[in-house]
Amino acid sequence: MNVAITGASGFIGRAVAGHLRNCGHIVRAVSLRGALAPDVLAGSNAVVHLAGEPVAQRWTADTRDKILRSRVEGTRALVGAMRAQPPQVLISASAVGYYGSRGDEILTESAPAADDFLSKVAAAWEQEAQAAEPLGVRVVRLRIGVVLGPKGGALAKMLLPFRLGVGGRLGSGQQWMSWIHIDDLIALIAFLMKESTVRGAFNATSPFPVTNREFTRAVAHVVHRPAIFPVPEFALKLMFGDMSQVMLASQRAIPDAAQRAGFVFEHPDIFAALAQIVRGA
């Protein structure tokens, strides 16, 4: 299969592209910087859309604009390029931020979007991806949780303070964290590319979300260090401004659609997943 990938230089994109090449697919990286050539997707059977301005930075007015525009305008341009020769499938990234902060509520793909900044970004992002459907493209919208892997992403930044013995829960630690091992995310993308009958929203998260307190305990366990230095909510807000809401938001998302489609997770347990990642880091 010929696969075009946006965001191919990022943490997830590199891993996805490498896996697909190893499986014998022809992979082409597509940059959304600048105008897209009309034939940029020519010959592509599948498009995996992962590009977007990083969310994990302090949110100024300019940053908020970049986060929104990179996703909305980038997806719009990508779908526009499909008009010349539509692919069979578009797998477009979104995020569990779609749901907002929902406490202990169990969130399947049928849960509505919230109305905070990231929720509105995710909803607009997905709407642009859906515009490919009238072209005859099967559209899958991946609501991705916190991706854990050995070569980057959120965990790479978290491990150092824990290894130094100064890690701890964030805020109350009661907020739910929807996470996924990067190997499961890659496998899910490959599965959704292959399964020609599936479409719509998919939570790309482990079947077993954990609270931040449980996650903290798991990280401390695998690095054999205590986790006795909690970071209070006010400190997070001082350090990160409005972006701290991402760390404190509670999203208890479960991958109902993926499991109903027959996908099997290899790393559903947070302790085993982290142990496997840390050994390979």
**What are the boundaries of each domain within the chain?**
2-147+179-206+253-265
Is 80 exceeded by the pLDDT of residue 280? Answer: no
Looking at domain 2-147+179-206+253-265, its CATH class is alpha beta
Rounded to whole angstroms, how far apart are CA atoms 20 and 250?
33
pLDDT band of residue 34 (cuts 50, 70, 90) is confident
Q: Once rounded to an integer, what is the mean pLDDT over residues 70-93? A: 96
Rounded to whole angstroms, how far apart are CA atoms 109 and 202?
6
Residue 171 burial (10 A CB sphere; 0-12, 13-18, 19+): buried
pLDDT band of residue 21 (cuts 50, 70, 90) is very high
Q: Once rounded to an integer, what is the mean pLDDT over residues 173-183? A: 97
Is 70 exceeded by the pLDDT of residue 232? Answer: yes
- Percentage, residues of the chain above pLDDT 90: 88
Q: 153 near 182, Cβ under 8 Å?
A: yes
Which phi and psi (to 5°) does residue 122 adopt?
-65, -40
Rounded to whole angstroms, how far apart are CA atoms 187 and 264?
9
* pTM score over 0.85: yes
Rounded to whole angstroms, how far apart are CA atoms 7 and 56?
16
Residue 76 burial (10 A CB sphere; 0-12, 13-18, 19+): middle
- What pLDDT sits at residue 281? 59
| Whole-number average pLDDT of the chain | 95
Q: How far is CA 101 from CA 245, 246, 252, 261, in A?
A: 9, 9, 9, 27
pLDDT band of residue 93 (cuts 50, 70, 90) is very high
Residue 7 burial (10 A CB sphere; 0-12, 13-18, 19+): buried
- What pLDDT sits at residue 158? 87
